[in-house]
Amino acid sequence: QLQLQESGPGLVKPSETLSLTCAVSGYSISSGYYWVWIRQPPGKGLEWIGSVYRSGSAYYNPSLRSRLTISVDTSNNQFSLKLSSVTAADTAVYYCARPIGPAAIYDAFDMWGQGTMVTVSS
Amino acid sequence: DIQMTQSPSTLSASVGDRVTITCRASQRISSGLAWYQQKPGKAPNLLIYKASILQSGVPSRFSGSGSGTEFTLTISSLQPDDFATYYCQQYNSYSTFGQGTKVEIK
């Protein structure tokens, strides 16, 4: 049974770097899929942040690309998000997810973590 | 960027009603369209993918249709558990979501 669990600081200061990790259990990241980060500001809609493959190849939302790094750690079966120079606009629930298809960079998402709230504030 | 526009933003309905939500894409996306249901404090739950394929375990009262730029999600007979917010998502080019449609009790 696949499970995804986000972890990281719940509070980040403006201009600093937001760092989150998604631990995957019940499936080996090395077996495939493009693993995904999605976020949702309070009371607002969903935003795809980016995807990473087992090889480390990453695909980013153009609006975040200059501040974003998504990486994979196959030895610990997890993947990570780093978003630099954060502002209040980056305050959101951050979800990690897995798409429904094993080979598609862009796809529907059938498996989600529970989400973790990150607030950007001094 | 492909923009996704959902309508209506809010929908008031009663148990047993037939409900339709529309999602329009700013350019053609073939059938790269998914629908999700989200309840407060929870992650979204996939209902439909490839515009019309029902995800495993999702009740058959949910259906999706459309292609190109216009898509619909239909709930044939609204149940108490269906009051939630619904999002469409295109994944033909990058991935973008609609702004959501809240289905509330009339």
Rounded to a whole number, what is the distance in Å from the CA of B87 to chain A's nearest CA?
Answer: 8
* B49 in A contact zone (CB under 8 Å): yes
Q: Of A17-21, A76-80, A104-108, B99-103, give the lowest mean pLDDT range.
A: A104-108
The chain-wide mean pLDDT, for chain B, equals 97
The stretch A56-72 carries a mean pLDDT of: 97
The stretch B51-61 carries a mean pLDDT of: 98
Per-residue pLDDT, A95: 98
Please return the burial class of B37, using the count of CB atoms within 10 Å of its CB with bins 0-12, 13-18 and 19+: buried
* CB nearest B46 (choices: A48, A95, A108): A108
Residue A107 CA to residue A98 CA, distance in Å, equals: 9
| Band (B100; pLDDT cuts 50, 70, 90) | very high
Residue B69 CA to residue B73 CA, distance in Å, equals: 14
Percent of chain A clearing pLDDT 70 (strictly above)? 100
For A42, name the nearest residue in chain B, comparing CA atoms only: B41
The stretch A26-48 carries a mean pLDDT of: 96
Percent of chain A clearing pLDDT 90 (strictly above)? 97
The chain-wide mean pLDDT, for chain A, equals 97
* CB nearest A106 (choices: B1, B87, B91): B91
Q: Which of A3, A46, A47, A64 to mutate to test the interface with B (most CBs of B within 10 A)?
A: A46
* B52 in A contact zone (CB under 8 Å): no
Per-residue pLDDT, A101: 93
Q: Of A98-107, B20-29, B68-77, B79-88, give the lowest mean pLDDT range.
A: A98-107
Q: Which of B37, B94, B96 to mutate to test the interface with A (most CBs of A within 10 A)?
A: B94
* B31 in A contact zone (CB under 8 Å): no
Per-residue pLDDT, B19: 98
Q: Which residues contact A39 (CB under 8 A, 6 or more apart)?
A: A46, A47, A49, A92, A93, A94, A95
Question: What does the angle CA B26 – CA B29 – CA B30 come to, to the nearest 5 degrees?
Answer: 145
Per-residue pLDDT, A52: 97
Residue B5 CA to residue B25 CA, distance in Å, equals: 6
Token pair 């001094």 is found at A122
Helix, coil or strand: residue A65? helix
Give the count of beta carbons closer than 10 Å to the beta carbon of residue A122: 9
* CB nearest B46 (choices: A62, A104, A109): A109
| A118, B1, B89, B73 alpha-carbon torsion, rounded to 10° | 140
Backbone φ and ψ for A9, nearest 5 degrees, come out as: -60, 140
| Band (B32; pLDDT cuts 50, 70, 90) | very high
Backbone φ and ψ for A52, nearest 5 degrees, come out as: -140, 140
Per-residue pLDDT, A98: 97
Residue B8 preceded by cis peptide, ω within 30: yes
Residues A49, A61: contact at Cβ < 8 Å?
yes
* CB nearest A45 (choices: B92, B95, B100): B100
Per-residue pLDDT, B74: 98
